[in-house]
Structure 1
């Protein structure tokens, strides 16, 4: 239970800090980017370092980077299917999940896999 409280407090503080940073920067579209993923990732890595050590946190950060690249690949494929192939959104996203899975698990295995 204590871990969840710590995650909540640290995550909330980091989200607030990134939201303030996003509010200062231009264009305002970046506020959402700075408020979400980086803050959650930093809070998670901070807790991982505290509880499991630096080696564990390093492997978690590699997994996060692999997931980021896989999401970028997924997003590009979805956009291409929507714009060039003129597919419907549901079809494009469902088809692209296969691409995301291949990219995510391929990169994850290159990054060191499950351990």
Structure 2
């Protein structure tokens, strides 16, 4: 329970800091980039370092980077299916989940991580 409370407080503080940074930057579309995801990741890594040590946090950060790259590839493939193949959103996203999973697992294996 205490871990969740710490995540909530630290995540909220970091989300607020990133939101202020996003509000200062131009164009305003950057505000979304500095929303919840980076702050939650930083809070999670901080807790991982505190509870499990730096080596564990390194593994977690590698997994986060693999997931982010897989998400970028997923997004490109979904866009291509929507525009070029003229699929509807639901089938395009469901089909491309397989791509995301394959890329994420492949990157983790390549980096020497366990899945």
TM-score (norm 1): 0.95
Distance 1:83 1:32 in 2: 24
Task: Indicate the residue corresponding to 2:2 in structure 1.
Answer: 2
Detail structure 1 runs of 4+ shifted over 2 Å in the superposition.
111-115
Q: What's the CA shift for 1:73?
A: 0.6
Distance 2:4 2:105 in 1: 28
Map Cα deviations across residues 6-64 of structure 1 (whole Å, 9 max, x no partner).
Answer: 11110000000000000000111111210121111111001111111000000000000
The alignment of Structure 1 onto Structure 2 pairs a total of residues equal to 115
Q: What's the CA shift for 1:113?
A: 2.3
Task: Indicate the residue corresponding to 1:82 in structure 2.
Answer: 82
Unaligned 5+ residue runs, structure 1? Answer: none
Task: Indicate the residue corresponding to 2:54 in structure 1.
Answer: 54
Task: Indicate the residue corresponding to 1:98 in structure 2.
Answer: 98
Q: What's the CA shift for 1:107?
A: 0.9
Task: Indicate the residue corresponding to 2:43 in structure 1.
Answer: 43
Unaligned 5+ residue runs, structure 2? Answer: none
RMSD: 1.1
